[in-house]
Structure 1
Amino acid sequence: MTDRTPNDRQPLVEPAPCPRPQRRQILLGASLAGLLQACGGGGGGGEAPVPPPSPTPAPPAPTPPAPTPPAPTPPAPTPPAPSPGSAPFWASYGGNAQHQAQTRIATQPLQRIVWSTPVDLAPPYRAGGFLLIHYGTPVISGGNTVLVPVKTTSAGDFEVQARKASDGSLLWTLKSDYLLPASSWTPSWNIGLDIKGRLFAPAAGGRLLIRDGVDSASGTVQTLAFYGNASFEADSASYRDKLRINTPLTLDGQGTVFFGFTTKAGAPGGLKGGIVRMAADGQALWKSAAELSGDAAMFQTAMNAAPALSLDEKTLYIAVNSDPAISSMQTGYLLALDASTLTLKAKQRLINPATDLPARLSDSATASPTVGPDGDVFYGVLENTRTDHNGRGWLLHFNADLSQLKTPGSFGWDDTPSIVPAGAVPSYAGASSYLLLVKYNNYYGIGSGDGQNKMAVLDPQASQTDPINASVTVMKEVLTIVGPTADADTPGGVREWCVNTAVIDVKGQSALVNNEDGVLYRWDFVNNRFSESVKLNAGIGQAYTPTVAGPDGLVYSINGAQLHAVGR
């Protein structure tokens, strides 16, 4: 599903299920001005046989929200595997600081919903039944406690619920006074775990809540403001109103946390939207997007775009973009910063490869940089006019120091690519040591989009002619697979793939992906087919959602404002 602003006629939001034509027309008349259908792919790969979804048992009734919690009483060449009970298993958005979204523990067979719990106690359904909100990813401790970010009221209040992976029972809750930044679609509220297993959660005024002992019913909680707690206390109303965290949290191997923030005019201390580095001892650095980019039009770290770290954790990659209230089309840069000092090392203006004009960096997307095992950096953007590429956008590709623009991928809209080891795809005979899993939707009704919505595995080191725009050379398709469920309202089309980051089961040589039809699928790379599936709901138009895996092999999927734990 895509979204457009009234002024620039181009998709801009991320949601998962795409609306059918009739539903799109309803949305076109709404303030979003243009959710268009989405998903489809170009190029090879055929429709694979799909097993019928496993019968869905009635999931246990979700545990009601608990009362206020008890009184507060790096890696190279690849990130190190966490040890049970200490370092996290799934630390943050995309799994780790490079957003590679891998598990090396085989996931359980997709046979049933083991347990389910709401991630939103007051889902903001819109006309036509759409749920246009980005939900934060659950994170999982080394002790297999599942930490779930939950919206608790229609006003946007939040809490973290800690649940046992075995049955979903509630261990504790931690309430936050976090306030959402403004956006056409509700932004995500994401949490993170550091190397010691401490929980970090955004709070109002750009502060962080930090809780120790996440596997225990009680733990010490502290609140830190990067600009100083005393400053917050001296002008708390202004900080709450004019300063808000607007990205997921990214943590390094030393317990340092990185996050973006946005500001309103007149923010205290002259603060301008940018990036924060807070060390494990609470000492912080911050710099504005305008200062770092050298461009006064840069307003903030891009909304929902998680910072990423290089494999040696010495370089921080962030996207910055312009103010949607000023520019009809948000544009921006990818920046490489010294991770210790936030000094600029390199920058690249993000460009549409089909037109050589600035690409769109929409506040409605959740695309975040991914760092590959060789240090290359991948980041998804939108085209500058919607018919250029059927609203698919592009996956831009750079070397580690951003000095070289490499072959782009043919899809980038609201997608963070996952890393697939080449050995997980037995049919692959190329030279690359890793491949990329991406959404590959071909949005019906935009340009030449035909609604043949696909997932794809791409080779970042090989190329082919783009299936949509023959003037552009793109990453080579290794595998593609068409969605299995026909869309009765889209002639010849299928329901949309609805993921923003998807977990790769390395041992199982597969990916776990959500679909607009309400089903969680296992895409088997060995036979290029959907080998397992579980029906989560009847299908709903919603913002794109993540899949996650735990140390016991359970798979977690957000669909219809519910977190589902799926396994045997």
Structure 2
Amino acid sequence: MSELDLGMKSKKKQLRPYALSIASLLLLGLIMAACGGGSTSSVPPINNSGTGTGTNPGSGTGNPNVVGPPWMSFGGNAQHEALSGVATQAFSRIVWQTPVDMAPQYNAQGYLLVHYGSPVITAKNTVILPVKTSTNPTYRIEARSADNGALIWSENTDYVMPAFRWTPSYNATLSANNRVLAPGAGGKILYRDDADAAAGNFKSLVFYGDTMYTVNKAALDKAVTINTPITSDAQNNIYFGFIATPGNPAGLSSGIARIGADGKGTWVSVASAAGTAAVAKAATNSAIAVSKDQKTIYVVANDNIATGVRQTGYLLALDSTSLALKSKVQLIDPNEKGPANISDDSTASPLVAPDGDVYIGVLEQTYGTHNARGWLLHFNADLSQTKTPGSFGWDITPSLVPANLVASYKGSSPYLLMVKYNNYERAGSGNGLNEIAIIDPFAEQVDRMSPVKTMKEVLTLLGPTPDPAVPGGFIEWCVNTAAVDPFTKSVIVNSEDGILYRWDLTTNKLSEKIRLTSGLGESYTPTAIGADGKVYAINNAVLFAIGK
């Protein structure tokens, strides 16, 4: 949903009947899911004990007969391409489902303003998911069989989430050596080797030193918080952003940390890395990206939240070993020519494309001047060249689309980008004609809503469900990273109407759909693809596994 003035939709949209219907169902303790396309599902209601719907919870196993490409992080990999290495299964049924939030908190209008972490899936088809366990909030990590959702293992974490308007995402990550990584309290990393094994338990790594943490545990648990997803490179080095309150015993300033494959940690303050006091921390929710050659990491840095002041910031390119600054660029609104809004309500993360170019979504400088769509900024690898922007950037990490997936495309670009393309309705702004789009980053057109030249639209597709609160409008697309399947030439994308869709890039039509819930207004959610081709989507605090 759009970041309207107080993180809510327009007054008209606050009365959406489908949001109210979900609230009513929740009072009954049930959320039933049925398949789209005229078939029905035999999936039982969600088991709110946390054991999911798989058989024999706690005794499940990974599937050694399945060896496929893993989905390792938010956006699938360290470049955030969201590009599947296996063909997806048909949307025949909801195979299983399980909560990702044991205590969902709906606002007065029925909206769920929580960013849920992306599931990650091992090569042996074990699904790893973070689960919010309380309103505080607290979290645990679960491992489930992709076959039936059976619980393989579960471990509580001691992570403490910082307070924001929209509850930030809490993510698990897989490393190249199949280690599960998750944030813990005090800036430590919780890890578990062999993500598929039922036996085992979390151990920890502390980037500023185990002894320092042990001696000052209580103080550091309060003072230091990891505020970005963890990113692992191809050599099992990991990177993340953290917030540190002044005067903490470890002498930390808010910054970026690296823990090498050898377990040794280093860090740099974000203000020092950026060479300016205009930034205070790594942007909350924004996952660090790694270049294809593994030599550079890209970090979004912004200032702190202040009442009535919109956040601004920079994109930093840091040496992946030393964390020294290689280059930086201020993130500028291409229409207003001033600092763009880098909001902590967003999960927009850098995409590093195969040619090394970097893309990052931002909000406009003055809210509403671009219909709350923001912009997709585009830079070369060393950030020295600012290229043509895209016409949508709010809370989206673009997905990579090989150009040969789009039969109608006649241009010369080797790859295209998929983004949601909502046109948010509010007074004097958007028209509620919410779309998804394939755009060409190396061709231009005049933007529909401004005089700015933007990336050319190759395909656009309007949302299929009329919005009863917006005359002539359609319910918006609800995704912050959409999985692309090059084998079926399609994109897997969520809508706020409660339905998961397959967008066929050959016909530019929605070729499959399956109903997950009755639909509601919520923070944007990811889609992911497992090693056996099952599709994973989150709707209304529940993870759904879809397949044959």
After TM superposition, the score normalised by the length of structure 2 is 0.91
CA drift of 1:538 comes to 0.5
- Cα distance in 2 for residues equivalent to 1:389 and 1:281: 47
- Cα distance in 2 for residues equivalent to 1:237 and 1:327: 33
- Cα distance in 2 for residues equivalent to 1:226 and 1:129: 40
State the Cα deviation string for residues 211-270 of structure 1 (Å, max 9, x = none).
012111102531111111111111112111111000111101111111111122333333
- Cα distance in 1 for residues equivalent to 2:314 and 2:67: 36
Partner residue of 2:233? 252
CA drift of 1:361 comes to 0.3
- Cα distance in 2 for residues equivalent to 1:383 and 1:123: 30
Partner residue of 1:57? 41
Partner residue of 1:479? 459
Partner residue of 2:504? 524
Does residue 21 of the first structure (1) align with residue 2 of the second (2)? Answer: no
Letter in 2 for 1:499: V
Partner residue of 1:534? 514
- Cα distance in 2 for residues equivalent to 1:152 and 1:19: 30
Partner residue of 1:3? 3
Gaps of 5+ in 2: 17-34, 59-63
CA drift of 1:288 comes to 1.1
Cα pair distance change 1:562/1:484, threshold 3 Å = same
Where 1:268 maps in the other structure, the secondary structure is coil
CA drift of 1:183 comes to 1.1
Partner residue of 1:37? none
Kept after mapping to 2: 8 A contact 1:56/1:536:
no
- Cα distance in 1 for residues equivalent to 2:255 and 2:427: 34
Paired residues for 1:403-482 under 5 Å:
403-445=384-426, 447-469=428-450, 471-482=451-462
State the Cα deviation string for residues 316-359 of structure 1 (Å, max 9, x = none).
00000001137711100000011111010000000000011000
Which of 517, 525, 541 is the aligned partner of 1:545? 525
Kept after mapping to 2: 8 A contact 1:258/1:277:
yes
Cα pair distance change 1:85/1:265, threshold 3 Å = farther
State the Cα deviation string for residues 470-509 of structure 1 (Å, max 9, x = none).
x200000000000000001101100000000000001110
Q: Tell me how many residue pairs correspond in the alignment.
A: 521
- Cα distance in 1 for residues equivalent to 2:377 and 2:387: 8
- Cα distance in 2 for residues equivalent to 1:332 and 1:500: 20
Letter in 2 for 1:92: S
Cα pair distance change 1:56/1:241, threshold 3 Å = farther
Partner residue of 2:119? 138
- Cα distance in 1 for residues equivalent to 2:313 and 2:462: 32
- Cα distance in 2 for residues equivalent to 1:463 and 1:4: 29
Letter in 2 for 1:104: G
- Cα distance in 2 for residues equivalent to 1:88 and 1:356: 42
Letter in 2 for 1:171: I
Which of 221, 225, 228 is the aligned partner of 2:209? 228
Which of 484, 487, 494 is the aligned partner of 2:474? 494
Which of 375, 394, 405 is the aligned partner of 1:394? 375
Letter in 1 for 2:490: S
Bigger relative contact order (CA 8 A; separation at least 6): 1
Identity rate, percent: 50
Cα pair distance change 1:285/1:462, threshold 3 Å = same
State the superposition RMSD in angstroms.
2.2
Paired residues for 1:83-232 under 5 Å:
89-232=70-213
Which of 346, 349, 352 is the aligned partner of 2:330? 349
After TM superposition, the score normalised by the length of structure 1 is 0.88
Kept after mapping to 2: 8 A contact 1:102/1:505:
yes
Gaps of 5+ in 1: 7-12, 26-50, 71-82
CA drift of 1:104 comes to 2.6
Of residues 275-284 and 544-553 in structure 1, the stretch that sits farther from structure 2 once superposed is 275-284
